[in-house]
């Protein structure tokens, strides 16, 4: 349960005996937590971030800040205001929007890259290559944010949480700081990034610092989970008080691990294996896989790409936590046929021209087959299989992320050795993501492949570019 009890916290600005007392409302926490306070010098609209450590659920003694917080700003205590961040459950985008509108803080972009099984790295934290950001003090070297030193605060505090309902808080890490608070100030003259990672489901917020242009989350993220990331970039002007010159925000969903892929695979098996019949009852033979695109697409291949149908990066169709999304290039084909006639459907949602390629040319002894996804769009469930060339980059990518299947027998689509006919399970729509480009003109000239015309429905361009996410409320194909 999220903490709802609150207490009044006093923040005091002082200068040569003059004081200004402000009050903010904070949530009580079950453990010591870091509380980020947004301090603003109203005349210059300059923003500071002050990190205060609570004392586990009790009202803290007054937080005292000596002004000016930077030598070029006002010494009048009346010119400073204070509020707590991440305390009112407002959307992080609103936080950045408000900061952008009411201050001189700039915005920048960060990206989150994933390396299996669960390593996530934030990139783009450092200043632009052109030099200092707006507002950097003139005394700092241009490469200050890129030096190789690791500060104590980055090393010791990055596992501390700002929420009481997370089970991953680290008592030993907290003790390391509490026993050595004086070390915090070391190595903080250069540009740093204050990173806040929020689990939108549990509301836990993790904080850590980075001094380089990228930072790897030092703990395992929960798979298939939505995260919000807020990064403040600046430099330390007083102990644990940072002048903010730029802020960034991004949201992402953590990818499935192989364990989650295996769970999807088991769900697909339960759905496809019809009770009361032998497993192969739903299988029928197919000779070709097919791919539908608009006529202009094929004309462009004939005229501009020397007959090559080039692979492209996978969109966000299917499970939004699929590790394939925006990471792997390929071409989608379908093995979906009518169980009675054995023919593909007469209507296409992806274009009015359909190319048919023998399945025996795509699944060969030189390829590997992987199970990748199981999802639905309110109608028939779909299974995504991936075909890779053995030893290729795509093959290496899939080996550590997906579930390997036997090409000679599996529960969805298989080609027996020496056969030109594949068997496909008609209980689901089987899609094949083929990770190589194809010379379709050569295949057509040699009559290995052929093209048919079908009726088109809907806008194929939108489905191709963005993809259609899976149905989130389906109890059959969702693991959560």
pLDDT tens sequence across 464-475: 656 788 888 999
- What is the set of domains in the chain, with CATH numbers? 6-253 (2.60.40.10), 258-465 (no CATH)
How confident is the model at residue 47, as a pLDDT?
Answer: 97
- When pLDDT is cut at 50, 70 and 90, the band that residue 89 belongs to is low
H/E run at residue 177: helix 171-179
CB 246 within 8 A of CB 126: no
pLDDT tens sequence across 300-326: 999 999 999 999 999 888 998 999 988
CA 333 to each of CA 341, 384, 431, 432: distance values in angstroms, whole numbers, following the listed order: 19, 10, 6, 5
pLDDT at 197 over 90: yes
pLDDT tens sequence across 92-125: 888 888 888 999 999 999 999 888 777 899 999 8
How confident is the model at residue 147, as a pLDDT?
Answer: 29
Comparison of pLDDT for 275 and 309, the residue scoring more? 309
**DSSP conformation letters of 237-305:** EETTEEEEEEEEEEEEEPPP-HHHHHHHHHHHHHHHS-TTS-GGGGEEEESEEEEEE-HHHHHHHHHHS
Which residues does residue 49 pair with via DSSP β-bridges, in sequence order? 38, 242
pLDDT tens sequence across 123-133: 998 876 544 44
pLDDT at 379 over 90: no
d(CA 257, CA 86) in angstroms, rounded, equals 29
The residue among 241, 454, 446, 234 whose CA lies nearest residue 336 is 454
Q: Of 139-143, 249-253, 264-268, where does the model show the most confidence?
A: 264-268
Helix locations, 8-87, DSSP H:
none
| pLDDT average, residue stretch 251-257 | 90
pLDDT at 386 over 80: yes
pLDDT tens sequence across 15-25: 999 999 999 98
| pLDDT average, residue stretch 158-175 | 34
- When pLDDT is cut at 50, 70 and 90, the band that residue 148 belongs to is very low
Query: Strand order in 413-415's β-sheet?
Result: 283-286, 422-425, 413-415
Q: Of 84-98, 184-198, 241-255, where does the model show the most confidence?
A: 241-255
H/E run at residue 80: strand 80-84
pLDDT at 478 over 50: yes
| pLDDT average, residue stretch 240-267 | 93
pLDDT at 12 over 90: yes
CB 389 within 8 A of CB 435: yes
How confident is the model at residue 173, as a pLDDT?
Answer: 34
How confident is the model at residue 160, as a pLDDT?
Answer: 32
Comparison of pLDDT for 480 and 251, the residue scoring more? 251
Comparison of pLDDT for 86 and 79, the residue scoring more? 79
| SS3 assignment, position 115 | strand
Please state the pTM of the whole predicted model. 0.75
- When pLDDT is cut at 50, 70 and 90, the band that residue 57 belongs to is low
How confident is the model at residue 204, as a pLDDT?
Answer: 86
How confident is the model at residue 315, as a pLDDT?
Answer: 87
Among 280-289, 394-403, 409-418, name the one with the lowest average pLDDT.
280-289
d(CA 319, CA 335) in angstroms, rounded, equals 20
How confident is the model at residue 155, as a pLDDT?
Answer: 32
- When pLDDT is cut at 50, 70 and 90, the band that residue 209 belongs to is confident
How confident is the model at residue 381, as a pLDDT?
Answer: 95
Mean pLDDT for all residues in the chain:
83
Comparison of pLDDT for 444 and 59, the residue scoring more? 444
- When pLDDT is cut at 50, 70 and 90, the band that residue 281 belongs to is low
How confident is the model at residue 34, as a pLDDT?
Answer: 84
d(CA 149, CA 191) in angstroms, rounded, equals 12
d(CA 93, CA 420) in angstroms, rounded, equals 54
pLDDT at 201 over 60: yes
How confident is the model at residue 4, as a pLDDT?
Answer: 66
How confident is the model at residue 188, as a pLDDT?
Answer: 43
| pLDDT average, residue stretch 257-280 | 80
pLDDT at 384 over 60: yes
Tell me how far apart the terminal alpha carbons of the chain are, to the nearest angstrom: 19
What's phi and psi for 443, nearest 5 deg?
Answer: -65, -35
* Beta strands 381-389; 288-293: pairing state: unpaired
How confident is the model at residue 218, as a pLDDT?
Answer: 84
CB 351 within 8 A of CB 292: yes
What's phi and psi for 444, nearest 5 deg?
Answer: -70, -40
CA 41 to each of CA 136, 169, 185, 341: distance values in angstroms, whole numbers, following the listed order: 17, 34, 23, 74
- When pLDDT is cut at 50, 70 and 90, the band that residue 279 belongs to is low
CB 360 within 8 A of CB 420: yes
What's phi and psi for 317, nearest 5 deg?
Answer: -65, 150
| pLDDT average, residue stretch 76-99 | 86
d(CA 227, CA 320) in angstroms, rounded, equals 13
How confident is the model at residue 29, as a pLDDT?
Answer: 77
């Amino acid at each position: 349960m999220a903490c709802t009890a609150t207490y009044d916290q006093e923040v005091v600005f002082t200068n040569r005996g003059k004081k200004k007392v402000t009050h903010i409302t904070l949530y009580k926490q079950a453990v010591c937590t870091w509380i980020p306070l947004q301090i603003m010098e109203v005349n210059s609209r300059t923003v500071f971030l002050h990190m205060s450590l609570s004392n586990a659920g009790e009202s803290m003694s007054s937080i005292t800040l000596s002004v000016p917080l930077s030598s070029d700003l006002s010494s009048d205590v009346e010119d400073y205001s204070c509020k707590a961040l991440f305390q009112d459950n407002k959307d992080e985008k609103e936080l950045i929007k408000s900061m952008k509108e009411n201050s001189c803080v700039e915005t920048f972009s960060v990206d989150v890259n994933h390396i299996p099984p669960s390593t996530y790295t934030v990139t783009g934290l450092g200043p632009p290559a052109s030099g200092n950001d707006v507002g950097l003090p003139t005394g700092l070297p241009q490469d200050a944010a890129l030096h190789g030193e690791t500060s104590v605060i980055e090393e010791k505090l990055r596992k501390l949480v700002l929420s009481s309902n997370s089970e991953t808080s680290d008592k030993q890490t907290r003790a390391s700081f509490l026993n050595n608070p004086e070390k915090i100030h070391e190595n903080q003259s250069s540009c740093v990034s204050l990173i806040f990672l929020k689990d939108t489901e549990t509301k836990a917020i993790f904080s850590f610092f980075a001094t380089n242009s990228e930072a790897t989350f030092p703990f395992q993220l929960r798979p298939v989970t939505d995260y919000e990331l807020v990064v403040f970039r600046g430099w330390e002007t007083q102990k644990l008080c940072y002048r903010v010159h730029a802020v960034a925000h991004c949201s992402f969903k953590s990818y499935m691990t192989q364990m989650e892929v295996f769970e999807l695979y088991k769900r697909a098996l339960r759905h496809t294996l019809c009770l009361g019949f032998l497993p192969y009852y739903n299988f029928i033979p197919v000779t070709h896989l097919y791919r539908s695109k608009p006529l202009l697409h094929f004309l462009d291949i004939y005229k501009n790409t020397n007959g090559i149908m080039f692979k492209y990066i996978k969109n966000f169709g299917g499970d939004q936590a699929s590790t394939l999304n925006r990471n792997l290039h390929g071409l989608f084909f379908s093995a979906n046929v009518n169980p009675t006639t054995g023919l593909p459907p007469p209507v296409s949602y992806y274009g009015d021209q359909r190319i048919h390629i023998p399945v025996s040319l795509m699944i060969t002894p030189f390829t590997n087959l992987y199970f990748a996804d199981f999802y639905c769009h309110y109608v028939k469930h779909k299974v995504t299989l991936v075909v890779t060339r053995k030893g290729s980059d795509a093959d290496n990518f899939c080996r550590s992320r997906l579930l390997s299947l036997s090409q000679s027998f599996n529960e969805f689509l298989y080609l027996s050795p020496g056969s030109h006919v594949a068997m496909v399970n008609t209980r689901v729509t089987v899609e094949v993501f083929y990770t190589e480009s194809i010379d379709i003109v050569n295949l057509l000239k040699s009559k290995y492949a052929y093209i048919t015309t079908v009726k088109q429905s809907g806008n194929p361009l939108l489905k191709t570019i963005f993809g259609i996410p899976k149905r989130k409320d389906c109890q059959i194909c969702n693991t959560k």
